[in-house]
Structure 1
């Protein structure tokens, strides 16, 4: 059994972090203390105590505990659990702990629905993905969702110290820890208590003369500081943090989130998001941001890591410190919405790509006015279809560049 399981807390007071739901007087603490357990879904990143709390709940009830993992469970496995209902072994009811419920398909989740609703099975499910996207709505509506947050390094420190003590007891020795080892492991494991405990175990097993050096700790915690999954919620949270920091003109926060993506080796996601931001959030306030960011992205992709961080850092700072405008973004969104809503209409005759008229046309001739034949290369004519001829999608932003354009076009169009 891994050390992370051997030091798993047996009481709520020993659980690391999650004080927002597990401190005395908080909702989940009160529910568990009263012993009447509802259907629940525990949502949060790996290694933050979801399974530990489920185990503690199981110890406090008279129900029979069954465990399934969504990555391996089949419909027949679920039916085997259901088959125990009414038997002597399930006289107190069944508590089903379903880990990684997001991997069960809709039919498998529906198999449980009848028994959850009747109260014959009490479900405690855990997931690292947003349950509102991955759990069948009928199951979700019968459960209470509790979010488990990433544990801070300060919270992990006591767990790391306890892990070293237990390893010393089991190996009949007292480990000598170089200064900084405990804090390095706690801070380096990205809020994952399980990962921290496993790192402690590896440090002890690989130590010489019962001394754990900083060199060993750094080697065994390398890359573990990234709680990262390219297809998971945390991945999109980092990208969201990056874009919102740039949009909010906080270059320091933007560099932080970019660094987290780079530390995970995810150049592609960072490059794609920077290209989007250049047009969506900086836009016409500084149009040159687009080609500059494109040049930085091309350089980064050609260089690869670690040098790629340099042009990408330049792009992040440029975007964060540039003036902002989403006028073009709002304009294309409004136009797309009209198209999706069917607000289109026929293209005006003068714009059509044909130079003849059918017999049914009352007005013959295309009558297109060629703007280059007129002063200032502009002439007023209708371009939108009749049904939406007065629609306005774009409004000039209040930045220097767009206001200069507005002055120019007000002058030109005001002449006509």
Structure 2
């Protein structure tokens, strides 16, 4: 009886067998050139799960002819790494670091000098974008390459090749529509597709598998929504951008994908951001609606929370939009970063000093509770951060009031 999964046994052993990554391993591509010229260098490979990062790393290890070791940055200790370094001292080694974005600082500090000296050739693997998640000290010592998702037709063709290659054990017959279904619900992950193919073969040995049978056994697609991976944050990003773009149907689609993960806290946090960043002052009633919806969702939980979320997302997506509040504070922060700060006017300071101090004018003592006096530092007089918009009645009124107030304040 065969105990090793087919996905493990079918793993490529040469660059020629790797699919979907021609830009890295095809003729004239960088990794193939690296093997052909016998030139080793440290790498970081990133991309979705199940598309070949680990496989490429092991193929390169075999091609380089170096002792190859694996290290999981999440679970392995510094002692494990020291053992690898000791074995590498005389002959060098290739170290495959899985989940490199999770590497602890003390382990990183120990490893980097050996990478820099060339004693260790490191291939880091991550599903996250390393430009956001991997420490710059590690990135600076490695070349970063992204793996592409496997094209649907390429994955279907690979499954057909696999069936022919293992015809002695894959006795079931798979129609094109069944293979298409397997590839589609596997979200272009090679490993997931092979596992599903193997499951169907074990379930219906020697039979001609119908699409209805495949749907019954496999039941639902791989959502590829690991909360620790980039794909999850890509869905959150698409969710916010769809609401920002006022596409209510796309917003609901991405909401459904997030609900499937049942990570209510992340959904509510993102909706709070959307309410203030994207709808903003164009419809400030959504601020209290979002808070009320969040409390209701936390009170009832899933599955009922889906109804509350749907109502809120529809409201946010169809509301008028304004990012003037976000843009205003970003401009103010940019001035601060650029050193545009200035001295606070004396009349705004409570503590006595030895400088001449113009009396502070108390606005509530004047008509309409406003009086002409300077509030900005000298260096920033005349600076405008808030630029009103007219995308909603409320902000249109704010814009008009701001214009009237500036006439009074600027007359100082």
Give the alignment's TM-score, normalised by structure 1.
Answer: 0.81
1:235-250 mapped onto 2 (5 Å cutoff): 235-250=232-247
Report the equivalent of 2:375: 384
CA shift for structure 1 position 306:
4.4
Q: Secondary structure at the match of 1:68?
A: strand
**Are 1:382 and 1:389, in contact at CA under 8 Å, matched by a contact in 2?**
no
Shift of 1:284: 1.6
Could you say which residue in structure 1 is the equivalent of 2:396?
403
Q: Secondary structure at the match of 1:102?
A: helix
Number of matched pairs: 402
Q: What is the distance in 2 between the residues matched to 1:16 and 1:207?
A: 28
Confirm or deny that 1:22 pairs with 2:25.
yes
Over 3 Å counting, the alpha-carbon distance change for 1:167 and 1:303 in structure 2 is farther
Query: Aligned runs of 1:10-409 on 2, under 5 Å?
Result: 10-85=13-88, 87=90, 90=91, 93-165=92-164, 168-170=167-169, 174-177=171-174, 180-207=177-204, 210=207, 212-214=209-211, 217-218=214-215, 221-222=218-219, 224-298=221-295, 300-302=297-299, 304-335=301-332, 345=344, 348=347, 368-370=362-364, 374=367, 377-382=368-373, 384=375, 391-401=383-393, 402-408=395-401
d(CA) in 1 for partners of 2:259, 2:49: 21
- Shift in Å, 1:399: 2.8
Cα deviations across residues 63-83 of structure 1 (Å, max 9, x unaligned)? Answer: 232333333432232222222
Deviates more, 1:255-264 or 1:39-48: 255-264
Q: CA deviation at 1:188?
A: 1.0
Q: Contact 2:347 / 2:357 at 8 angstroms: preserved in 1?
A: no
Where structure 2 has 5 or more consecutive residues not aligned to the other structure, the ranges are: none
Deviates more, 1:65-74 or 1:136-145: 65-74
Q: CA deviation at 1:275?
A: 2.2
Q: CA offsets, 1:67-119, max 9 Å, x none?
A: 333334322322222223464xx3xx422222222333222223333332232
Question: Quick check: 1:48–1:148 contact (8 Å CA) kept in 2?
Answer: yes
- Quick check: 1:348–1:385 contact (8 Å CA) kept in 2? no
For structure 1, which segment, 236-245 or 388-397, has the greater mean C-alpha deviation from structure 2 after superposition? 388-397
**Higher mean C-alpha displacement, 208-217 vs 131-140:** 208-217
Q: Do the aligned residues in 2 keep the contact of 1:64 with 1:94 (CA within 8 Å)?
A: yes
Backbone CA RMSD of aligned residues: 3.6
Distance 1:383 1:235 in 2: 48
* Alpha-carbon spacing, 1:32–1:370, altered in 2? closer, same or farther (3 Å): same
Q: CA deviation at 1:234?
A: 2.1
The worse-fitting range, judged by mean Cα deviation, of 57-66 and 388-397 is 388-397
Q: CA offsets per residue over residues 111-144 of structure 1, 9 Å max, x none? A: 3333322323222221223333444433321210
Distance of aligned partners of 1:210 and 1:383 in 2 relative to their CA distance in 1, 3 Å threshold: farther
Following the alignment from structure 1 to structure 2, what is the Cα–Cα distance between the partners of residues 359 and 129? 54
Deviation of 1:273 after TM superposition, in Å, equals 1.2
Gaps of 5+ in 1: none
1:283–1:327 Cα contact (<8 Å) kept: yes
Q: CA deviation at 1:238?
A: 1.7
Distance in 1 (alpha carbons) for counterparts of 2:19 and 2:25: 10
Secondary structure of the 2:87 match is coil
